[in-house]
Structure 1
């Protein structure tokens, strides 16, 4: 058979990337600058040799000597024991996990360097599992960096990759001198980025290790300033881009405006705070640029009615509004309220409120989709089903996202794209966006992650809300708690009992909702005890909630599906089992389900100390905060301290840490500088600003817009 000409030969296959290179990509270390900005966790001092005779017990040192013995011992367990000798003494190196190659590398007569913690032993000095290598060449001139890594990515490979990247990467200054960050405390001048990076990857032996490891060193100060500036630039750029977009101008009708009709029909008056934030939102909707506003308020502060008033203005102007909530129960609560308030007003206009959720029957769903597409559905309420591909809006002008931090970043971005699709054909309009949160945003977060948002705050609870007393109770007093429940039900009140899991888990060993339901049913034979959990069919969940709301059920045993949106004024006691397992904002949300009527209400946080007999530090901090305050803003501030911004904001859902180096609490002065410098840099040096964002954020800049 004649071979094919060279020009027609099949192209050579590219060898697949090595496991180490694949691991680098998984860590997001793709560009040279990614590697340069991947900083050590800690450092090892391999720049000096300590004479064995001078090595103090408890100290971590590097020693050098000749191997005088190397043998495998079997008592009391299999181990490799090596004796290392220098002119001042000897030290025993013990390895409980080893390979034949270790024995070869440490054969008798080999000159060896070993680094580890010195311990005292019966036979003198010892090191357990020290790092070791042949004593060849000169000692390093800088401390050895230890990087965070993963399986299949050895430290040696990672060090080489980073060192190579540092020699290649261009590091021009992107911050002009007139906007330079303030120098670190005690430093004469601010460091350049190049100086800071080279120093942090290879600090000299005399560098203050404590300042490097607690990130207070001037080199760290420069990196934190750069990172905070990148974040602020990204937010300011998003704000500017949005200001350049066109949005539908939504103003109330001149005759009998829909929002005024709603205000007249409501069985209550708005608080001063609700009126203030409604005014802020209505002013935004009347502008020709898209609103991007966060409406925050404590549990029960009345955010839904404010959203309903905004929806009225949107509908009055001839457009559609969508409201998306993270759970079906919360979405149903919104739907029920909005139907009660708006349906009589919309019916006169031939429009209605539509419901959209994943568990709908096919015929009902098809009917809703048709109404959304032809515009008769003026307001669409639902779960993430609202952003599915087959949903086509006729004229979408306003979207409201409730509990926005509960949605993943990708879902929030998908909704923004859905809004853009729904803009009027041929007019390139960007609809308005209102996000709601019952987890108030602490000031430092509002300044950083929400810098591109306008924030409205409802800082006043409606009249009639009673303060909730919070009690911390060990689960050893479970019987007392059950007796308290019996007394509450006998007085005509209702009770929630919240469990963290549905099924038994050997790992967590938590009581499950089903077992607790059975236990309470037996302990309270005269009381009707209901059960609610996320795996129940939607119709069953709805039936249970209706029974509880109607007062025909004394106790509701539930998982956290009742965390938000459930409103039963007659419920006066909330028992949260294994409270130490819940997050702080979750505990606060659950506590907010009681105290909604005139009766004195209480929340019992029942905790378990497990086999250790004591609570962990984080759990103790959370429970202490719940016991000491009912103020949602103070709870949010403490939650941020305990968890950090990534978890607080739900950023983990995107897989991207939002800030790697800066700490919002410790670095507040740098955040203030970055806030002031970012708009000036964008205005005066737009190319430098773009370069700075690309260097630090790359593709992650899009996530900050969500």
Structure 2
């Protein structure tokens, strides 16, 4: 008989396991070091055991000074031949040591009486540090020093990731203590397939590495181990950890999906009144354009989901301008037709306003005969307007509510919420998504259907791993008539040429965006800011209305600036990244991104998507600066090269994953997703396949082991499984 997990009897992911997972470091810790451990997430013994070294130092050998090359780290035993405090150019302790093969100076700019006592003339000491050359001869700056004579360690010394309040000595002791106490009993079932069989033959010995052995080795590897195998994580001990981590992630995702499948949502089916079409069909007929084949396919997938009693949990991804908003509007129409309310939440007021304008234009004329309407909610509304909107939402008159974070505030009460649409979902945290779901739970025991949208397509490997609990729909074609955008990478020394190009575009009746990375002067980054650029362009473009838009402006002023640009009254709009998503001005044909080397790849692609929305040929200029450096760094070069080579958002996403890795790509701090610390999706595909195969078997046949495994690896992140 398979085991039965207590969690399987509940309708939610296990929270008792989360509470039980806490330990090791008490939350009431008062010392700075304990607080630092908590801040780093090192709460439990297992957290400490899984806190692995960044690198290692070899303190197992003593070498002769004459055999050490400049720039190398070395450990020597030598006799102190001189020791004095020197006051120039600054106060420092200067010590000379000789090991019989050569001599070396040790310099300490911070020192205590204990240092001087250890480093008295004639004392024999063990010294470790980087040996440098120079005019004054060989020297070490602030090396580690101790009295000679103690036994040499038998393993490499770990150097851990840490913070200022946690010296290496403290964190080494904490990790050793956690490793000793942690429960590392086997959680892989006896009938699990051997993960070693999934990968190349040279690593087939992995089955001999249990978790305790693997962790003990990685914290204190033997000196004869190949450092390359530790650094590239190909050593069998690393493979064991990566296999377990991937399994925990797949278990958590599959568990979340199964838990959601047990929940219930209202089935939403569009029903026409006698003698009339459904709102969905009316909207299709009223649209001034034909849907693409990709939009139609995705629309059918969403409609099928909404008709089920299981809550939809779907990610709609499509390139910039692929037409996600109209697909969302059709989903909202199905919801309204079925007699329920729908909410659309966007991360910025500009994007929410863009959606509102489109949805009001499409839906309000069709809703008017029924007395229903579209409501608007943002944080900057006046009290009277806001109270009116809240009353319409509570009464059910507002069939669709569009807004920012204001949609999930406590005062917002829906009468019959059944569908939540979240645009640019990666810009919202888990708490916001949960709050929107809870708006329905307040009035019924049902869950809302959830459709999340993103213009940052998710690469397939990432979707397999991090979105295993989501159904993914892709709009993989652009509507006809979209003009291709030419992308040019230009050094900022050619700004004058660029201004002439802008004058040419303005002379043809076109409009221009100029995006800057900062609002005001920064002491740490020598970047042109939006305010300075605005003033410069006003002077260089006499007679042209040049606008300024940034996040610190009052809402009314932002709205006025955006309206002037949208209506064609403004020739150039200087902006920060508040226009990254949602701005749709077909007449804009040129996008200039200043200090493009400072932007992320997906952000550059989003900004580029603000042009090319009309019939005119459009261009995007990536203006970069190298500052005092002779050339751009590798990462910045790779980003700009990718932008110049392709307009395909899916290819951009793939390259972005290569450059940044999955944690950065997903926005780990916002998403709450159980991100991988050890495994790499690009190189560990075989282990991921093994984990995907084993996860359902463990949940079905060994649920207690599965729960223990997930709790060990994810701990408090279990709270986010249903987000």
TM-score for both structures, normalised by structure 2: 0.92
Query: Once the two structures are superposed, what CA deviation does each residue of 1:636-672 show, in whole Å capped at 9, x if it has no partner?
Result: 1111122222222121336887221112222222222
Q: How far apart in 2 are the matches of 1:644 and 1:390? A: 40
Q: Name the counterpart of 2:196.
A: 182
Q: Give CA-to-partner distance per residue, 1:378-398, whole Å, 9 cap, x none.
A: 000000001111111111100
Deviates more, 1:76-85 or 1:605-614: 76-85
Q: 2:83 aligns with which of 70, 74, 87?
A: 70
| Aligned equivalent of 1:464 | 481
Contact 1:399 / 1:419 at 8 angstroms: preserved in 2?
no
Aligned to 2:366: 345
C-alpha distance in structure 2 between counterparts of 1:235 and 1:704, whole Å? 7
Do the aligned partners of residues 160 and 625 (structure 1) sit closer, same or farther apart at CA in structure 2, a change above 3 Å counting?
same
Q: Does the aligned pair in 2 maintain the 1:409–1:651 contact within 8 Å?
A: no
Query: Is residue 155 of structure 2 the alignment partner of residue 142 of structure 1?
Result: yes
The equivalent of 1:260 in structure 2 is 281
1:118 aligns with 2:131: yes
**Residue number in structure 2 paired with 1:415:** 436
Partner of 1:99: 112
SS in 1 for 2:187: coil
Asked if the contact 2:196/2:204 (under 8 Å) is kept, the reply is no
CA drift of 1:74 comes to: 4.0
- How far apart in 2 are the matches of 1:307 and 1:240? 26
Q: Which stretch of structure 1 is more off in the superposition, 248-257 or 454-463?
A: 248-257
Secondary structure, counterpart of 2:523 in structure 1: coil
**1:645 has 2:662 as partner:** yes
CA contact (8 A) 1:449 1:704 kept: no
> Cα gap change, 1:472/1:282 in structure 2, threshold over 3 Å: closer, same or farther?
same
- Is 1:558 aligned with 2:575? yes
**Is structure 2 residue 206 aligned with structure 1 residue 193?**
no
More deviation, 593-602/451-460 = 593-602
Q: How does 1:311-390 map to 2 (within 5 A)?
A: 311-390=332-411
What is the SS of the residue equivalent to 2:203? coil
Deviation at 1:517, TM superposition (A): 2.2
Deviations 1:394-429 (A, max 9, x none): 11100000000011233223223334335x3xxx21
- For the residue of structure 2 that corresponds to 1:697, the secondary structure is helix
* Residues 320, 394 of structure 1: 8 Å contact kept: yes
1:39-54 to 2 correspondences below 5 Å: 39-54=52-67
Is the 8 Å Cα contact of residues 408 and 650 (structure 1) preserved in structure 2? no
Change (3 A) 1:519 1:171: same
Task: Identify unmatched segments of 5+ residues in structure 2.
Answer: 1-26
CA shift for structure 1 position 123: 7.2
Q: Does 1:394 align with 2:411?
A: no
Q: How far apart, CA to CA, are the structure 2 residues paired with 1:657 and 1:397?
A: 28
Which residue is equivalent to 2:597?
580
Provide the rounded CA distance (Å) in 2 between the counterparts of 1:598 and 1:56.
64
Alpha-carbon separation, structure 2, partners of 1:278 and 1:567: 23
Report the Cα distance in structure 1 between the residues aligned to 2:89 and 2:73, rounded to whole angstroms: 26
State the alpha-carbon separation in 2 of the partners of residues 218 and 437 from structure 1: 38
Aligned with 1:179: secondary structure? coil
| Separation in 1, partners of 2:625, 2:518 | 15
Matches within 5 A, 1:55-66: 55-66=68-79
Quote the RMSD (CA, aligned, Å): 2.0
Aligned: 1:451 with 2:465:
no
1:208 aligns with 2:226: yes
Q: Which of 173, 177, 181 matches 1:164?
A: 177
1:511-543 per-position Cα deviation (integer Å, ceiling 9, x unaligned): 222322222222222322222222222222222
Q: 1:360 to 1:57 in 2, by over 3 A?
A: closer
SS at match of 2:280: helix
2:43 maps to 1:30: yes
Deviates more, 1:135-144 or 1:16-25: 16-25
Separation in 1, partners of 2:488, 2:35: 51
Counterpart secondary structure, 2:84: strand
Does the 8 A contact of 2:49 with 2:215 survive in 1? yes
CA distance in 2, matches of 1:541, 1:88: 72
Tell me the CA shift for residue 327 of structure 1. Answer: 0.2
**How far apart in 1 are the matches of 2:523 and 2:138?**
43
State the distance in 2 between where 1:500 and 1:154 align. 36
CA displacement 1:102-138 (0-9 Å, x = unmatched): 1112122323111123344667643332211122431
Q: Does the 8 Å CA contact 1:399/1:433 hold for their aligned counterparts?
A: yes
The 2-side partners of 1:620 and 1:303 are apart by: 31
Query: Is the Cα–Cα contact under 8 Å of residues 278 and 337 in structure 2 kept in the other structure?
Result: yes
Secondary structure in structure 1 of the residue aligned to 2:487:
strand
2:253 maps to which of 235, 254, 264: 235
Q: Secondary structure at the match of 1:348?
A: helix
Match of 2:6 in 1: none
Query: What is residue 5 of structure 1 aligned with on the other side?
Result: none
CA gap of 1:575–1:71, structure 2 versus 1, over 3 A, is same
Contact persistence 1:577–1:606 (CA under 8 A):
yes
Match of 1:490 among 501, 507, 511: 507
Counterparts of 2:330 and 2:181 in 1: how far apart (Å)?
57
Alpha-carbon distance between aligned partners in 1 of 2:446 and 2:28, rounded to the nearest angstrom: 48
Q: CA deviation at 1:77?
A: 4.7
Contact 1:499-1:576 at 8 Å conserved across structures? yes
Q: Which residue does the alignment assign to 1:11?
A: none
Gaps of 5+ in 1: 1-13
Indicate conservation of the 8 Å contact 2:516/2:595, yes or no: yes
Cα deviation digits, residues 275-306 of structure 1 (max 9, x gap): 00000000000001000000000000000000
**3-state DSSP class of the match of 1:644?**
helix
Alpha-carbon distance change, 95 to 572 in structure 1, aligned in 2, over 3 angstroms: same
| SS state at 1:98 partner | coil
Alpha-carbon distance, 1:142 to partner: 1.1
Contact 2:488 2:644 in 1 (8 A): yes
Worse-matched range after superposition: 182-191 or 436-445 = 182-191
CA distance in 2, matches of 1:393, 1:655: 27
Aligned to 1:244: 262
SS in 2 for 1:534: coil
Q: 1:54 Cα deviation (Å)?
A: 4.1
Aligned to 2:195, the other structure's residue is in SS state coil
Say which SS state the counterpart of residue 322 (structure 1) adopts: strand
Q: Which residue of 2 aligns with 1:505?
A: 522
How far did 1:82 drift? 2.1
Distance 1:26 1:654 in 2: 18
